[in-house]
Chain A
């Protein structure tokens, strides 16, 4: 027994020592030569792993396309992924690794707002730009304490207030709804943000919120909550969550006899939604989104078919926005003509009228893309364009 202990102790000591040594001396060389390193601070494990993996696939696809065409300024793009374990503190850790160990010139991700905000302290301190595909909280790009724009934080998606407002106006003007029920994914700040702005504007428009309920990510049974909502007799149900839970909510809601319109945000945008909810159940549901499938750009079509070919699944909204983020980073590097992170960030802020798969991107003063929103309606499982709303 003693021998084993001894062997193990020596092993532990040597592993720790080796780790320390390589840690101290192991600062990797800055990106030079033929490749440009771009970091991916993504949710590879943990509760939101599906977001991060979609994003990673899309970024790799984007980089492959760019590299096949000769790369940027003669250099190839390389994605370095660090796992943020779907957790805010770990996102800080991952960001530190990408910035100081891997010496990346820009970072894509995380998708979770809280993780992006926590990690923002690191990349702003190190002056490396970060573009978040799907972090919708306003504070991602703006420091709430000072009201100033964070110089090195960008995003590819809408902010919460915009989507919430758009849907509240649509509910009032187009659907003539006056009594709303809201069902919020309580574990997601994205959903909470959308719900808060929907509620504010819906009341401003003269409506009332008759029920406000919540659930947690990975919940599967919503019948108890839906029973309660049904009893409150609303004429619209707003569910600003992600498609997996939303699908089950729509399915179970229709089974419970809730026939009113249901609405949500771009978290609904997935080919899986009709499969989970059922085509018939999805009729009379609407969501706000960045791009409409009717608005078929060649870029978008090519992206969808390439993505499907490479990964055997349809891209979801995380993939689409990560793909755009990757293209934006590439564009910024190309315009900067240099791999100096500060110059890349400056050139990113100047991007104007850039054509991505989710539409045309121009950044406003707060580093949010100015895009028009579309309302999509589900008809027999197919997404159809309903109306376009400009910001």
Chain B
């Protein structure tokens, strides 16, 4: 067992302890239903932000249509449980596969584009998905798909989140993952080195979309409803903001961003008139002060807190 594996195992144990503590607090009702809801929401947002980070942060492909895949997962999952009457497990798999497949179909042609063009194309695709859903009466159209049972609970969402985080972390350290990083750093150089750039870009995009689909199933089975208004481009911006705030290309950054923004949003619910104004000012100030996000593309680790240790690492930025 090498050092890396050992560290993984240690982290896993830490996760289990965290889970036990949280679950215990919820059972003892020290964490009330409102915060339980927000913790579930945080876990869902973490899945969304780490999956978008795989596309935007690791592979450097500027996608802002993530809400579309979230919607596909949410609706596919709901169809499987509500309309077809199959189990929740099957819904999770179906939602993931459907969103991943759509990601593959969309990614294949559009990932030839780069930079802002890809951004606007993904934004458009996300909207097309939403408009199509709005026009399908089978899934309720504008009223949304109602009557979804609450099958998602904290254990489900927590362990799925941990699985996805570990999956993406290991993907990053694998051979395909390193190809993705190479593409982010310089696509032309990566191409010259013999990396099949299209293949790896589509791979990252498909995986990211699939995990967004998983998040969608969890989402619709927690909030009783899948509604087109939940999946507008504003939602895509929200997810993007989480990733960029934490630091593009940093897993811990994406997680921190999701936690932080969900909390800010929950707290500001008390001041509805000011919520969006404070939110936007926070966003602007944070970006002005720290354009590379809280962690840059580094990972949060104990080393960060180690006083005077190591060289002063200048934060590398993705272009």
Contact = CB atoms under 8 A, between A and B. Distances in A.
User: What is the interface residue range for chain B against chain A?
Assistant: 35 or more
B143 A9 contact: no
Contacts of B312: 1-2
Given A15-B260, A88-B225, A89-B219, A1 B314 contact: yes
A24 B276 CA distance: 25
A137 B41 contact: no
A6 B315 CA distance: 12
Interface residues of A, number: 51
A136 to B, nearest CB: 11
A99 B270 CA distance: 14
B298 to A, nearest CB: 7
State the main secondary structure of chain A at its contact with B.
helix
Given A87-B230, A96-B34, A8 B223 contact: no
A187 B32 contact: no
Given A15-B260, A93-B41, A87 B227 contact: yes
A221 B135 CA distance: 20
Contact of A83 (B33, B230, B259, B269): B269
Nearest to A5: B304
A174 to B, nearest CB: 30
Contacts of B162: none
B272 A9 contact: no
Interface string B216-251: 000100011101111000000000000000000000
Interface string A176-199: 000000000011110010000000
Contacts of A87: 227, 229-230
A201 interface: no
Interface of B: 25, 30-35, 37-38, 41, 134-135, 141-144, 146-147, 150, 219, 223-225, 227-230, 256, 259-260, 263, 266-267, 269-270, 272-273, 275-276, 290, 294-296, 298, 300, 304-305, 312-315
Given A5-B298, A187-B228, 10 more contacts: A2-B312, A2-B313, A8-B295, A9-B295, A23-B38, A45-B272, A83-B275, A88-B223, A187-B134, A189-B142
27 contacts: A1-B314, A2-B304, A2-B312, A5-B294, A5-B304, A6-B304, A16-B259, A23-B38, A27-B32, A47-B229, A82-B270, A87-B227, A88-B144, A89-B230, A92-B223, A93-B37, A94-B269, A97-B269, A100-B34, A101-B34, A114-B227, A117-B146, A118-B144, A118-B146, A118-B223, A118-B225, A187-B228
